[in-house]
Amino acid sequence: MRSKIAQKLLDKTSVETKEFVSLYSDIVVRINELIAEKGYSQKELAESIGKNPSEISKWLKGEHNFTLRSIAKLQAQLGEPIICVPKSKKFKSDMGYSLKMTVYSHQIHFNTDQMTVGKPKKGSTAPKVA
């Protein structure tokens, strides 16, 4: 349960600020996940991208804004996406059916030969994602 003061502050917080905080925290969590997966220390990561360890620390504490260039450097060094921008893709079958989907990664490939529209046939399986 939130206090009345905290609730009043939240009620006065703009949607833009709430979105910023949410996005920033998502980015920080993702970077920390990747640092742990790759076995980096913050110092090693900083050295590998030509930054001071204090700057990495500020990024991960929310005390300094990321630039798109800094996110790109981190993503290149860590070898995994940090931010995924959805793209709408349209798929068309040989039979003329079309399907529009939101795709979050360019690494997903669909076998459109196996796609069906409507109810699946009895005993059939869903198309496989390679």
- Give dist(CA 13, CA 7) in Å, integer: 10
Task: Kindly state whether residues 95 and 52 are assigned to the same domain.
Answer: no
Average pLDDT (98-120) is: 58
Percent over 90 (pLDDT), the chain: 45
Q: What distances in angstroms separate CA 27 from CA 45, 62, 68, one per listed residue?
A: 16, 10, 12
- Alpha helical stretches, state H, 42-98: 42-48, 53-61, 68-78
Last residue of a domain, one of 78, 93, 113: 78
Q: Is the pLDDT of residue 39 over 80?
A: yes
Q: Find the range with the poorest average confidence among 23-37, 66-80, 101-115.
A: 101-115
**Contact 127/111 with Cβ under 8 angstroms?**
yes
Categorise residue 79: left if φ over 0, alpha if ψ from -120 to 50, beta otherwise: left
Higher-confidence position of 2 and 86: 86
- Report the domain count for the chain: 2
Containing structural domain, residue 128: 84-130
Residue with more model confidence, 124 or 101: 101
Q: Check residues 91 and 81 and name the one with the higher pLDDT.
A: 81
